[in-house]
Chain A
Amino acid sequence: MKVRLTCSVNQEPVDVLVDDYKTLLEVLREDLQLTGTKHGCELGECGACAVLVDGSPVLSCLVLAVESAGRRITTVEGLAADGRLHPLQECFADLGASQCGYCTPGILITAKALLDAEPNPSRERICEALSGNLCRCTGYLQIVEAVEAALRLGAASKQRQPLLAQSEPGAGQ
């Protein structure tokens, strides 16, 4: 049976009819075509499907889509803003923290929740927050270093203007 689901995904309102047995992960990928969130173990063991629900990291493979009604959902597609990558994404790219890339969306979104909640987490705290995200390429050191770099970049970027605002009005058109 189809049921109606209204919620917000990446700050946009969503109003769709979905199969009532589907998980949030299946609705994101199959009904909303947001395939950035990955389908890993589907049993809550790997963290590849992590998304934020009302700001908290959860595993979308173990959330019934119908229980997401009215919630504020953030996926990896919602990280970039105003034409700029999130500092975490910049640092993951610059520091080689993404190897095969399959775990990366879940790790980015989990790390974002950490950085939003805590201004200056220690390395130990970063590892703890990411302990539910498995990287089968085992590139954990680069991942943790990239999160630390994003901490520094994020703090610095508060003084910087977004790229689009640096352009002349009408430039490039």
Chain B
Amino acid sequence: MRLPGFRYRAPRTIEDAAAWLAEQPADSMLLAGGTDLLPNMKRRQQTPSTIIGLSGIGALAEIRNGDGLTIGAGVTLSNLVADPRIRTSYAGLWQAAAQVATPHLRNMGTIGGNVCLDTRCTYYDQNYEWRKSIDFCMKRDGKTCWVATSSPKCLAVSSTDTAPMLQALDASVTLVSAGGARVLPIADLFANDGMHYLTRQRDEILASIAVPALDGWRSAYWKLRRRGAFDFPVASAAVAARLDGRRVVDARIVLGAVSSRPLSADRAVAQLLGQELTDDLIASAGAAAAEIAKPMDNTDFELVWRKKMVRALVSAALHEIRGDDMRARRLQLARQEMLSMPASTSAAR
């Protein structure tokens, strides 16, 4: 498969990038690491007439200290994982970034690209001829959503690992356009629609992601995938919490890959606040979180099992945050043995 033709432009500053993007916002796309856009272009899922390559903009590749950290959207996942500030202060983000794809793809792919990752679906992530044979789908070139043919909206799945964790860490994003910059909570960057999954306007560039200083918080990210390496999540749990001893002072739980956006599990959080983080409470919060998960039959694995696994993933993350040694469980998850254990007794002591 060859790439379709396009005009390539390489700005050196974000101002130039924004100005050039504003010239043809509907037909231009931004290229960072290329690991999402270029396969999509080869399969003719995305066919921009102009590509604006961001890799020459040095300022996008920096991680800066401040009140927390400001991570340039062009920081590669490898560089993010190698940064000791991420590992020590934002363990869940480290776990999420370290589980994206493979070492090669993490050397190329960026945090901004992973946050903006195109939604995925069995009926969409196929080559042109395959999609043509089913008369295409709603997300590109067709009219019907083949996941649920009566659905008025596209049900493609949010498959980013880092966005749920960043949302659980209360991150905010800076979007830059020729008209200026705006900052919004990362939760507001996403919409629950497989086609229009970002609220980013076509002339805006995701420039940076700020995570606040989270003194006293702990975080964890748990991911379900077929192989121990290399796969997109088909369900994930991003949890951040501040504990006083074993009592939960504050918490956020965000689910990945069970909707068209990262999904905040507020009822599960409400159960936790002010309570001792006991095994029973962890099991109960995991079950409450799983209730809101809406996995569809358009990814790897069986959807009922994926929904059940949300309970196990949220529970595992909470156990890890409590300080339980979860290394054996992580190994089991990679081998798909996790569900054989009841979630309420999952702590590997």
Contacts and interface: CB of A to CB of B under 8 A. Distances in A.
Given A50-B104, A64-B53, 5 more contacts: A43-B42, A44-B104, A57-B103, A66-B53, A132-B104
Interface in A127-172: 128-129, 131-132
B4 interface: yes
B104 A64 contact: no
A73 interface: no
Contacts of B228: 131
Interface residues of A, number: 26
7 contacts: A21-B5, A26-B2, A44-B35, A44-B38, A44-B101, A57-B103, A64-B8
Contacts of B137: none
Given A62-B38, A132-B230, A67 B101 contact: no
B31 A64 contact: yes
A57 B104 CA distance: 6
Contact of B8 (A57, A66, A128, A131): A66
Q: Is the interface of B mostly helix, strand, loop or mixed?
A: loop
A71 to B, nearest CB: 11
Contacts of A63: 34, 108
B229 interface: yes
Interface of B: 1-6, 8, 10, 31, 34-35, 38-39, 42-43, 51, 53, 55, 78, 101-105, 107-108, 228-230
A23 B103 contact: no
A98 interface: no
A42 interface: yes
A58 interface: yes
Interface of A: 3, 20-23, 26, 42-45, 47, 50, 56-59, 62-64, 66-67, 110, 128-129, 131-132
Contact of A23 (B3, B5, B8, B53): B3
A42 B1 contact: yes
A-B residue pairs, 8 tightest by C-beta: A132-B102, A131-B229, A43-B39, A132-B104, A21-B3, A56-B107, A62-B38, A62-B34
A22 B1 CA distance: 11
Which of B3, B8, B42, B104 is packed against the most chain A CB atoms within 10 Å? B104
Contacts of B55: 67
